[in-house]
Amino acid sequence: MKQVNMRTPLMLLAVASALVNAACTPSGPPLRTTVAPTTASEPPPSAYVAMLRKEGIGAAIPSSGKFVLVNIPSFELVALQDSAPVLYSRVVVGRPATPTPELLSSMSAIKFNPSWTPTPAMIRFEGLRYVPPGPNNPLGRILFELDNEELVFLHDTNDRKLFDPAQRAFSHGCVRVEKARQLAAWALGVPEGEIEAMISRGATYSVPLPQQIPVALVYSTRFPDEQGRVVTYPDIYASRVAAARTAREGEAVAAAGAGESGNTRTCAGP
């Protein structure tokens, strides 16, 4: 009986399969699938931000995160979370001779139980003196540290009656905040009771914020109130801005002649 060699058909089958696979496989490097990048659409502005823009207030309020807005003519601070107001507070701003400037800054830390040191010009021309931390300090118990070259800050005060009048332009240019404790708790993300505990330590120390908070000081005589109604306010600096600029320049020249700093806009004298 003749023996059949089974290896030959198997080898032929393997060669045929290889040829078929080679015909189905593209030559050269593998093709890459390109996916078009997607761009996240910016959410529409909140109703509050839309209202501000309608009045010409161009502060770049982000759609998410924290933001502090101070409007000088309405003597008001608004804290915003995700572009919606969450806290309103009365403020005291600079008097016409030492006006609070418009600026964009950032809050980086909160100082508890600050001391207050007047500028050389304040000492020379107003007779003001250093005040240690405590109940008689014009900065109160809380100072919100801002990054700006104007030496302007937000802070508490020991004189609460200054928040009573409708027109509150009494400071050297810094902004006194009526609800300083509530603002500090919101900025740090802690209960208000914890702020009281931080104050009660008595020492002067700073607590960095978890994340810096943008702060805008703006000047608009038309500004929405807590009910969302746009209110018109007096132009408190209109008649004195030129005179104030001249006075500050004169003080600067006098202080420079005495070898002193003429900047009178360091947080709030009495």
Cα dihedral 228, 214, 143, 246, rounded to 10, equals -90
| Residue 121 resides in a domain | yes
Instruction: Kindly report, residue by residue over 233-247, the tens digit of the pLDDT.
Output: 999 998 655 454 555
| Residue 51 resides in a domain | no
Give me the CATH number covering residue 213.
Answer: 2.40.440.10
| Residue 17 resides in a domain | no
Please report the pLDDT score of residue 119 as a whole number.
84
How many domains, the chain?
1
| Residue 9 resides in a domain | no
The band of 19, judged by pLDDT with boundaries at 50, 70 and 90, is very low
40: left (phi over 0), alpha (psi -120 to 50) or beta: beta
Per the model's pLDDT, the better-predicted residue between 261 and 128 turns out to be 128
The band of 43, judged by pLDDT with boundaries at 50, 70 and 90, is confident
- List the domain range (segments joined by +) for residue 157: 59-257
How far is Cα 103 from Cα 217, in angstroms, rounded to an integer?
A: 5
| Residue 172 resides in a domain | yes
**Stretch 219-230: mean pLDDT, rounded?**
95
Instruction: Kindly report, residue by residue over 140-167, the tens digit of the pLDDT.
Output: 999 999 999 888 999 999 999 999 999 9
In the structure encoding, which two tokens stand for residue 154, read together?
């937000």
How far is Cα 138 from Cα 78, in angstroms, rounded to an integer?
A: 22
| Residue 26 resides in a domain | no
| Residue 132 resides in a domain | yes
pTM exceeding 0.85:
no
Lowest pLDDT segment from 11-20, 57-66, 132-141: 11-20
**Stretch 86-99: mean pLDDT, rounded?**
96
| Residue 24 resides in a domain | no
